[in-house]
Amino acid sequence: MKCWCLNSENIYVSWVGPSSGDLWYSSTFVTHLNSQGELAPDAYWHQEEGAPICEVRSTQSDPVMAPDSVGGVVVAWEDARIYDSYNSIYTQRFFDPIPVSANEKPELVHEFSLSQNFPNPFNPETVIEFALPTASKAALKVFDITGREVETLVDEQLTAGNHRVQFDGSRLASGVYFYSLRTASQSLTRKMVLLK
């Protein structure tokens, strides 16, 4: 088991355990706790037994964590999913907003950005983060491999800053999907994989 304490209210823990429903494989799990050892108040961490990093059936081992620059952690682990003579290294970023006191200034956003969803691959839920340097009308939409729109996650006027949206793909088939963020002057698109 590995643990990383960002501050007195944000403790991340990772460990390896049996994959859900499959004792032949092991998965890496992560959870986020407060100083009382309770789950952090974020929808992604609702599973008391920990959130699996990825749903790919493989043997995962030796998780390592390090803080990122915006209040989350990056987890790296060994993964035998390729079935060759060596394990591969995979990484995943986890982030929960950390409250700031009235005396602290919130972090300013300087550029339009769309982050890679996490976890990815996912089943059935994933989180998408994006940043807007100025207040603007923004649309965040999901498309299938043919370019057909399958869901609109955001389509409204938003404040400047960092934003986070949870996407539930439970009604969709496994496969590759694209999510696109558009404003009047800019757009970005990224790929994600739903594995059931």
Q: How far apart are CA 114 and CA 130, in angstroms?
A: 4
Q: Could you tell me if 28 and 60 are in contact, meaning their C-beta atoms sit under 8 angstroms apart?
A: yes
Strand order in the sheet with 72-79: 60-67, 72-79, 88-95
The pLDDT score that the predictor gives to residue 110 is: 84
Residue 88, helix vs strand vs coil: strand
Quote the pTM value.
Answer: 0.51
Fold of 113-194: Immunoglobulin-like (2.60.40)
Please list the rounded mean pLDDT of every run of 10 residues in the chain (196 residues). Answer: 60 74 72 71 56 68 74 76 68 58 55 93 92 94 96 94 92 96 96 93
Residue 66 has what pLDDT?
77
Name every residue whose Cβ is closer than 8 Å to that of residue 76 and which is 6 or more positions away in sequence. 63, 64, 65, 66, 89, 90, 91
Domain ranges of the chain: 2-95, 113-194
Contacts of residue 64, defined as CB under 8 A and 6 or more positions apart, other chains included, come to 2, 75, 76, 77
The predicted structure's pLDDT at residue 70: 60
Question: What pLDDT is attached to residue 171?
Answer: 94
3-state DSSP of 171-190: CCCCEEEEEEEECCCCEEEE
pLDDT given for residue 76 in this prediction: 81
Residue pair 73/66 in contact by the 8 Å Cβ criterion: yes
